[in-house]
Chains A and B, each alone.
Chain A
Amino acid sequence: MELTYIKAINSALHEEMQRDENVFVMGEDVGELGGAFKATEGLLEAFGEERVIDTPISEALIIGAGIGAAVLGMRPVLEMQFADFISCAFDQIVNSAATLRYRHGGRAQCPIVVRAPSGAGIHGALFHSQNPEAWFTRVPGLKVVAPATAYDAKGLLKSAIRDNNPVIYFEHKRLYRSVKENLPEGDFTVPIGVAELRKEGADLSVITYGGTLAPALDAAKIVEKEDRLSVEVLDLRTLLPLDREAILATARKTGKVLIVHEDRLTGGIGGEVAAIICEHAFEYLDAPVRRLAALDTHTAFSPPLEEVILPNTNKIVDAIRNLAAY
């Protein structure tokens, strides 16, 4: 069945709520409105307002209450209306949830999923464009995923709901209706912590995730045609824990690595990926590890500013050519 990225999310929620009566969703406008982006459309009609809970504008409450229900055996899926608003719930995520099992000596668990619509390129400006994944990818006790395809959007959400730990699920807003795929019928999951090779290649590797996967694949096609370069593209899919084996395998294979993400350069996950490669695959490298990311500024509103700040296919093409020529 052909589904968009957003419909894939929606169908994962329907199926998991059907499968397990302890799964419920909570957030701002998730009920009658079906969510600001319609991710929770139809859930209220199917499962009633006890399991599809509209909350006041209270992000800390949404996460905190999710934690309270989760330690008693529930599996809440908690929506931040925009990932930008997750900062309001930061303490509940990094202090209450991430440390919960540790500080209870392993005698408690916190199976919450935080759904965070993130990403730029939709003229969202400073507070509707953020990619705040790097705030969380250094927090022990959390898992962080960022699907780039409709298949992964569905499969990773199901895995996140079934996981016994707090999982932050970054869904890219620009992909909601632009990504459309034929998905298999019936239940399937995508494992957390496993990257996916999207395209095999021999000359150079691009490591990316989320909103920059499609531009990276487009760029790979362009340089293949115009420059006869064979580019491998690895989709991380999970940002915490990173799939170190897959990262090192592609680095060792091609010897040249470009890391691309829509999050800002400084402190982004790309730095960690680069460090893993430099520490464990240094002798395989034929060039410095390069990074292409958003500029170290806020995601400005006006089109020429947004354009210069964000990575895109042309910028990736240039970066690939540059690295290939090293």
Chain B
Amino acid sequence: MAQPEGARVATEPAARVEQELQLYYWMKLIRAFEERVSRLHRQNKIFGGVYSGAGQEAIVAGVCAPLRDGDFVAPLHRDLGVFLVRGVDPGRLMAQLMGKETGLSRGKDSFLHGGDLERGIFGSTSMLGSSLPIAVGAALKFKMKREKNIAVAFFGEGASSRGDVHEAMNFAGVQKLPVLFVCENNRYAYSTPLEKQMAIEDVADRAEAYGFRGHVVSGNDLLAVLEVTERVVAKIRNGEGPALIECKTYRYRGHSEHDAALYRDQEELIEWQSRDPIPGYELFLEKKGHDLKRVREQIDERTQKVVQAAVEYAEQSPFPKPEEALEDLFAPALAAAPKK
């Protein structure tokens, strides 16, 4: 991206400065995009389930930043940011949420179930944790074909109670597969608090039982997420087997937009909002010598433009035609020519 005015003049490589600002832009874009999605949902322009990741942006940005083209990512239902960071056109993403023909699933499925495999994003189902075996299978392919790519599976602490998660991690450990499991522990599975979900404090503790390392990090601290991910991803890419990173975080909104989350203590929410990942990162930018006020103004202006353009594109896009309900069920019968 073009460097905004107010970017620091650095003695370090320009790439590092660019990454600092890019990470900031991503978090701000995710936040702005999701705020707009919430509003559109209230206006009945987005219908069906909407699951906000507000408060959890640092995890998506920090985990996806060190990834490469060809890596496979299975986001969870709150990880709209994965689509933005991996380069899905924001207009297409917004069209997806509105059920439009130009959306990723061409109106077939809602919210984040329409993946974009060209950008290595698998569209997960609503059966939480079911994408972990699938990410493990992607990693198996990378290992079989001696490819240097890795698979990343996001899941919540809620999904960690499901058998699929156990089966996936166990097999990944046995086969030493290039897969990173990222747990976004936001303390609630819909309304069910952590203490009713597990008898231990950290999901990461389970990694050891599968024969790999588990790391715990503040999911609201972008730099901490980035640092551990860069380190762990390098090892995975190097063939050292799977790893688990547990990011402690908090979900600002309800499970979905129709959930007022009255089961939670307001003080708890306020306490977590005081640890918001965005101001935390802004402090870092200031310390690094950026003129924060100017950088923020420019990035806000840019994100607003991107979001507005996405909304306009989606609103102008047509709905699918009724007869398309029977399309996209089956791939063409002829197999691709086999490789010898």
Interface residues of A (CB under 8 A from B): 19-22, 24, 50-51, 53, 55-56, 58, 60-61, 63-76, 91-92, 95-96, 99-111, 140-141, 162-165
Contact = CB atoms under 8 A, between A and B. Distances in A.
A22 B130 contact: no
Contact of B338 (A19, A61, A103): A19
B104 A68 contact: no
Contact of B138 (A20, A68, A99): A68
Contacts of B141: 68-69, 72-74
A24 B72 CA distance: 20
B109 A61 contact: no
B82 to A, nearest CB: 15
B327 interface: yes
Given A56-B174, A140-B329, A102 B109 contact: yes
Contact of A104 (B104, B132, B137, B163): B104
A63 B133 contact: yes
Contacts of B175: 53
Given A60-B133, A65-B140, A91-B127, A102 B335 contact: no
Contacts of B333: 163-164
Interface in B292-337: 327-336
B78 interface: no
A102 B164 contact: no
Contact of B136 (A68, A103, A104, A110): A68
B219 interface: no
Interface residues of B, number: 54
Given A64-B133, A164-B335, A165-B331, A103 B114 contact: yes
B106 interface: yes
Contact of B331 (A55, A64, A95, A164): A164
Nearest to B164: A60
Contacts of A99: 109, 125
B113 interface: yes
A164 B330 CA distance: 8
A141 B330 contact: yes
A110 to B, nearest CB: 8
Interface in B76-95: none
Contacts of A60: 130, 133, 163-164, 167
A63 B138 CA distance: 12
B199 interface: no
A105 B332 contact: no
Contacts of A63: 133
A51 B140 contact: no
Contacts of B170: 56, 58, 61
Interface in B18-53: none
Contact of B117 (A50, A58, A71, A96): A71
Contacts of A76: 137
B180 interface: no
Contact of A68 (B139, B336, B340): B139
A96 B153 CA distance: 15
B329 A65 contact: no
Nearest to A191: B333
Closest 8 CB pairs of A and B: A64-B133, A68-B137, A65-B137, A164-B331, A106-B328, A20-B338, A61-B167, A105-B106
A65 B103 CA distance: 27
A186 B304 CA distance: 63
A232 B43 CA distance: 62
A104 B335 contact: no
A190 to B, nearest CB: 13
A295 B95 CA distance: 50
B100 to A, nearest CB: 11
Contacts of B174: 56
Q: Which of A66, A103, A165 has the most CB of B within 10 A?
A: A103
A105 B338 CA distance: 25
B125 A64 contact: no
Contacts of B108: 102-103, 105
Interface in B202-259: none
B123 A64 contact: no
B59 interface: no
Nearest to B335: A162
A186 to B, nearest CB: 16
B133 A106 contact: no
B340 A21 contact: yes
Contacts of A92: 130, 133, 164
24 contacts: A60-B163, A60-B167, A64-B130, A68-B136, A69-B144, A71-B117, A72-B141, A74-B144, A95-B125, A101-B328, A102-B105, A103-B105, A103-B108, A103-B115, A104-B115, A104-B116, A104-B123, A105-B103, A105-B106, A107-B117, A111-B331, A111-B335, A162-B335, A163-B335
Contacts of B339: 20-22
Nearest to B137: A68
Contacts of B136: 61, 64-65, 68
B328 A105 contact: yes
